Structure 1
Amino acid sequence: MARLKQVTGTKTDASLSSALQISPQTLSSWKGRDSTPYSLCVEIAQTRGISLDWLLLGEGPILRQTVTDSSEANQESTTRENTILALWRLLDENDRCAIQNALEEKQRLRDMELRLSEMAAILATLKPVNET
């Protein structure tokens, strides 16, 4: 249950049951039996890119290892993106907003640096006027 809460970004049983779209009584029953339906775990693991071993047993990496037919660099990029996405899903809304703001600011700074570099190149091509 703790790992399900982590994956869904919930903290209470009530919010977990809501996130899983089940009744609180169903969740309570699962807790009482110390058992969660395997099919639900498989579905969550597939849709969120989570390792089923980690979700069920708490073993291994959180993220499922993806295998693609593309090049190694592309696979590395996909794995990195899946990792970022899975970690993003674990954050609360305030943390997501803070990260988004930081990324937008970083992009704004890159744009400004590019414009500054372009202006410096233009200035370097201008010949100084000699006053006599």
Structure 2
Amino acid sequence: MRNKKSQAVLARLKQITGTKTDAALSSALKISPQTLSSWKGRDSTPYSICIDIARTKGISLDWLLLGEGPMLRQLPNDTRDDTSERTLQESTVLALWRRLKEEDRVVVQSVLEDKRRLRDLELKLEQMSANLSALQQSDQG
């Protein structure tokens, strides 16, 4: 990539990886700081790394390389059916999940597990309330 566009690509890579500095970005990309510095000096970024990141994180290459369109990759329109909305939502959630740092993933998973436990307790409470109501009605009748 040439024409100073690599700076914009590197900025978007920082956004995707949740990094703010060149050192943090090089660590996130698993490259040496010297390699990143070399890319900046030559005003180039290897497409292969961009493609790998886009694929693993569900990011649109148009957005990553050109800054155009939505950040997250979309499903093709010809796959639309009754489940397409759910599939698109799941893909979006998965893409966002992949962008999280591991410690944030742990927090999100914990919150989701707490939510599931609360839902289970609410269902049990509803069942117990229904049973109590039925017992009270049978005692009165």
Output the TM-score relative to the length of structure 2: 0.77
Per-residue deviation, 1:102 = 2.7
Say whether residues 1:18 and 2:27 are aligned partners.
Answer: yes
1:107-122 correspondence runs (5 A): 107-122=116-131
Instruction: Tell me the C-alpha RMSD between the 2 structures.
Output: 2.3
The residue type equivalent to 1:35 in the other structure is S
Say whether residues 1:37 and 2:56 are aligned partners.
Answer: no
2:57–2:99 CA contact under 8 A, matched in 1: no
Higher relative contact order (CA 8 A, sep 6+): 2
Output the TM-score relative to the length of structure 1: 0.81
2:99 alignment counterpart = 90
* Cα deviations by residue, 1:107-132 (Å, 9 ceiling, x for unpaired): 122111100111122123221157xx
Per-residue deviation, 1:85 = 2.0
Counting helix residues as a fraction of each chain, which structure ranks higher?
2
Per-residue deviation, 1:19 = 2.0
1:44–1:50 CA contact under 8 A, matched in 2: yes
Per-residue deviation, 1:70 = 6.0
Which stretch has the larger CA shift, 4-13 or 66-75?
Answer: 66-75
Per-residue deviation, 1:71 = 5.7
How far apart, CA to CA, are the structure 2 residues paired with 1:37 and 1:97?
A: 32
- Unaligned segments of structure 2, at least 5 residues: 1-9
How far apart, CA to CA, are the structure 2 residues paired with 1:62 and 1:71?
A: 20
1:128 alignment counterpart = 139
Structure 1: 4+ residue segments shifted above 6 A? none
Per-residue deviation, 1:10 = 2.3
The number of equivalent residue pairs is 130
- Unaligned segments of structure 1, at least 5 residues: none
Matched residue of 1:61: which SS? Answer: coil
